[in-house]
Amino acid sequence: MRLTDIAVRVEDGAPIAAAPERNGGLGGGVTAILAEIAAGLERLTIAGNTALIDLRSLPLSPDDREELRLALGHGEVTATLEAQGISTLRETAVAGVWWTEHRDQEGALTAELLDIALTPPILAAHPSDVVMAAAALRRRLGTTSPPGSPVKGAA
């Protein structure tokens, strides 16, 4: 059995047929990507493991890319980040799959990824940043102790 022999179902439950052979690109390999996504979603739900598929590392033709976009569909959420260029994260219609594009300051595409995660990891706050944010808010409030802690100098 090969990876491309595994049936994959998306949203409406209809099987995705292998794409016809083309000159260049993956041809029926889009089905293999979908099978990898299905396995990644299973790992996410069982063990909480996120996954990343680097689309630019694959020999995707424009037809392959469009076939993959159609198979994954469009979700309801889009996030845009501005950090040394624009990054766009689009939820697909397949829960847990995010199509992410990173562009440099000139707008050139530098990375195109599929994040398999409940939320794209790039959107999550780093724990040390959260600690610093809490301390900064405490300073603004003129306190250094969390609620419920004894206040310094109190009897």
Helix, strand counts (H, E) of the chain: 3, 7
CA distances from 21 to 30, 37, 61, 65 (A): 11, 21, 12, 14
pLDDT score recorded for residue 29: 80
Flag whether 147 is in a domain: no
Task: Find residue 70's DSSP bridge partners.
Answer: none
pLDDT bucket at 143, cuts 50 / 70 / 90: confident
Distance CA 112, CA 89 (A): 10
CATH number, residue 110: 3.30.1370.140
Task: Convert the pLDDT of each residue in 59-76 to its tens digit.
Answer: 999 999 999 999 999 999
* Average pLDDT over all residues of the chain: 83
- 3-state helix, strand, coil split of the chain in percent (to 5) is 35, 20, 45
Task: Convert the pLDDT of each residue in 40-65 to its tens digit.
Answer: 999 999 999 999 999 999 999 999 99
**Torsion sign over Cα 5, 55, 51, 79:** negative
As for how many domains the chain has, the answer is: 1
Flag whether 154 is in a domain: no
* Residue 58 domain boundaries: 3-141
Flag whether 84 is in a domain: yes
Segment 78-101 shows an average pLDDT of: 95
pTM of structure: 0.70
